[in-house]
A and B are shown apart, each in its own frame.
Chain A
Amino acid sequence: MTSSNKLLVYCVAEGSPQLTDLRGLEDEPVRQVELQGLVLLYSDFSTARPLNQADALRFHAALRSVFDQQAIIPFRFPTFLESEAELKSHLQQNHAKYAADLARLREFVQMEVRISAVRENNAPSSGKEYLEGKLQQSRSLQEAVRAIRDPVADLTTDCKERQTDQGVRLFTLTKRPDVAAFRERISRSQPSTGFTIAVSGPWPATEFFHE
C-alpha cells in the first residue's frame, strides 16, 4: 500500500499508558488522543511505500510495549485514519463498546493452544475408508481437545475453539498472573497419539471482545 500523511492506529487502552520514547513505524513517536478515560494510540505515517513484514513486526513491538503494562484492544495491521479529528470521532462512536470490553477484560490475557493432527501419507483405498478415517480423526481430535482443556480448566475463565485444516485452535481467557502456570501445565501434558500441541501467548484477548 502506498500511504502519505496518514495516521497509523495501534490500539485502545484505559487510562494513561507509559509511552515514554515509544516509537512506531518509521521511528515515529507513538502519540495518543484521550476521551473519557480511554486513549487511542497512533503515529504519523507519511512515507509512500509498500508496507512489509518488518513494518508488521514493528507494529507488534509497539503494541507489546503497551500490552505488557495493561489490557489493550489492538487494531488490525495496517489501519489508517486521515486525521486526529477522525481518531477522536472513531473513539467517540465506539467509546461505550471499548470501555465495556476493557473493563471486563482488564485482568485477562488470551492464551492460544494449537492442536494439529500429524499428517499421514497413507492414502485411503476407498471412499468408505476415507470417511471412516475422517470420523475417527474427528473423535480423536475431540479427545485431544479435552486432554488439553481439562488440566487448565481452573486457569480458564472462558474458552473458544476454531476448527482449522490441521485441527483446532483453542483460545482461552486467562488471568495475567496465571500465564506461567498455564504454560507449565500445557507443556507437561501428553498429547493424544497423532497430534502435536503448540501453545503461545499471552496475547491481547481479541477473541473475547464484543463483535
Chain B
Amino acid sequence: MASPNVIAIGGEGDELSLLDILDHVLNSGVVIQGSIVISLGGVDLVYVGLNVVLTSVETALRTIEADQRKSLESGK
C-alpha cells in the first residue's frame, strides 16, 4: 500500500499533472540560440538569447497553480 505522503504521478492510466508536463516541456530539452516570448496562462515568459529566463518558469507555474486553486475554491 502506498504511503499517504507519496504521490505517484503519471502511472498507467493516470494523467501526468499539468505542472509536471509544462515544467518538462518548457525547461527540458535542446535549446537553439534565438529569442522567444510566449504567453502561458496569462503569464508572459520572456526568454532572451540562449538560455536566460527573465521571468522564472517555476514562479509562473506557481502563479498558475494558485489561480487554478482559487478557481476551484470559488466553484468556477
Q: Does B66 contact A (CB under 8 A)?
A: no
Binds B, one of A19-27, A55-63, A127-135: A55-63
Contacts of A206 in B (CB 8 A): 24, 28-29
Contacts of B17 in A (CB 8 A): 200
Binds B, one of A28-36, A152-160, A182-190: A182-190
| Nearest CB of chain B from residue A38's CB, rounded to whole Å | 13
CA distance A203 to B29 in the complex (A): 11
Asked whether A191 lies within 8 Å of B21 as measured between CB atoms, the reply is: no
CA distance A203 to B17 in the complex (A): 13
Asked whether B8 lies within 8 Å of A77 as measured between CB atoms, the reply is: no
Nearest opposing residue in chain B for A59, CB measure: B25
Asked whether A52 lies within 8 Å of B28 as measured between CB atoms, the reply is: no
DSSP class of B's interface residues: helix, strand, loop or mixed?
mixed
Interface residues on A, range: 35 or more
Contacts of A183 in B (CB 8 A): 8, 11
Asked whether B6 lies within 8 Å of A78 as measured between CB atoms, the reply is: no
Asked whether A76 lies within 8 Å of B20 as measured between CB atoms, the reply is: no
Q: Does A177 contact B (CB under 8 A)?
A: no
Contacts of B16 in A (CB 8 A): 200
Asked whether A204 lies within 8 Å of B1 as measured between CB atoms, the reply is: no
Asked whether B5 lies within 8 Å of A195 as measured between CB atoms, the reply is: yes
| Nearest CB of chain B from residue A211's CB, rounded to whole Å | 11
Asked whether A201 lies within 8 Å of B2 as measured between CB atoms, the reply is: no
Given contacts A51-B39, A60-B21, contact A74 B6 (CB under 8 A): no
| Nearest CB of chain A from residue B15's CB, rounded to whole Å | 11
CA distance A197 to B28 in the complex (A): 21
CA distance A9 to B31 in the complex (A): 11
Q: Does A42 contact B (CB under 8 A)?
A: no
Given contacts A52-B41, A188-B2, 5 further A-B pairs with CB under 8 A are A51-B40, A183-B8, A189-B3, A196-B5, A199-B6
Q: Which B residues contact A (CB, under 8 angstroms)?
A: 1-3, 5-12, 16-18, 20-22, 24-32, 34, 36-41, 64
